[in-house]
Structure 1
Amino acid sequence: MSALDAAATARLVKFLGLLGSDHDGERATAGRMADLLVKAHGLTWADVISTRAAVDPFGTGDPCPWRPRSSGPQPVQVTRSHQKEAFNLLGCGFPWDSWKTDFLHSIRHRDGPLSGGQQDKLDECHRMAQDWRRMREAA
Structure 2
Amino acid sequence: MAPPPKTRKRRPLGAFALVAGILSMLVAPAVAGFAAFRVGRGAGAQIVAQGGQNLDLRVLTPVRDLVLVVEIAFWSGTALGIAALVVGIVATARDRGRPMGIVAIVLAALGPLVFGALAAVALVAGAGTTTGTGGALV
Q: Give the structure-1-normalised TM-score.
A: 0.26
Higher helix share: 2
Larger radius of gyration: 2
Task: State the TM-score, normalized to the length of structure 2.
Answer: 0.26
